[in-house]
A = this chain, B = another copy of it.
Amino acid sequence: MNNKTTKQQKDFIYGRNAVLEAVLNTPNRINKIIISKTSANDAKINEIINLAKNNSIVFQFVPKERFAQYQETAHQGIIAFVSPVPYYDLTDFLDPKKEGYSKIVILDGIEDPHNLGAIIRTAACAGFNAIIIPSRRNAQVNATVEKTSAGAINHIPVIQVNSLSNAIDKLKDNDYWIIAADAHGKDNYFDIDYTDMNFAIIMGGEETGVSKNNMKKSDFIVKIPMLRNFNSLNVSNAACAIIYESLRQNICKARKNSNIANKTK
């Protein structure tokens, strides 16, 4: 993907849910909304219009022909032109120290923007604190990612780094445990303990997996058990299995601690 394409793709959000999320959460990012005249009587679009009015966002009804250039996207008759999603800086994220433990997903070579969007969405739902992507050899945040994330991109910081290797070193210096997902991993992903620690889960690219260098730096390499020997999970589903297992363990642990606390009162 060349820089020009990236720039263009970053500059709009399409579809009713994605635009609604943007109006609700990051109205300052929106420069203008165009709405197809044929979509004018839709409840969700009316909600967007009301929010746009309250936030002094310019919106405009346009003939549906105006959407011809966006026909490859599922725009549903609405597009918001926006400033690009701001990437976060790892140093800023790590400093000052937050309360509680921090959970991160690191993506190492994810090519498909749908997978990137789906992982951002899952990580946000599960209360993770950030996503780290490298600035090269990985999908970057664009319109497809924003749409697939269903607006989650506005709820979780995406940290862009020039070197994943350096980022992992920095995380380790900040008391993070590093967990790489790999088909040849030693432990099943549900056999390690995700509680009472900062951790980062590395998910590798669709074809390439986690790079050897990053695998070497990892404290754990976990696999997802396959009961049929034909292929592996889609990477966003694999990420979901691990992310939600870590959440399950933390919820169960918190519940147990709370029960113990109640009993000793």
* Distance, CA A118 to CA B248, complexed state (A): 22
Q: Are B150 and A231 in contact (CB under 8 A)?
A: yes
List B contacts of A10 (CB < 8 A): none
Over the window 224-261 of chain A, the binary record of Cβ atoms lying under 8 Å from chain B Cβ atoms (1 yes, 0 no) is 11111011111011001100110110011000000000
Q: Are A25 and B230 in contact (CB under 8 A)?
A: yes
Q: What number of A residues sit within 8 Å (CB to CB) of B?
A: 40
Partner of A114, one of B114, B122, B240, B252: B114
Do A231 and B127 contact each other (CB < 8 Å), given the known contacts A241-B241, A244-B224?
Answer: no
List B contacts of A245 (CB < 8 A): 244-245, 248
When all copies of this chain in the complex are counted, the total is: 2
Chain A's interface: helix, strand, loop or mixed, by majority?
A: helix
* Distance, CA A230 to CA B127, complexed state (A): 11
The verdict on A190 contacting chain B, using a C-beta distance below 8 Å, is yes
List B contacts of A234 (CB < 8 A): 118, 121-122, 148, 150, 236
Minimum distance in angstroms from A175 CB to a CB of chain B: 22
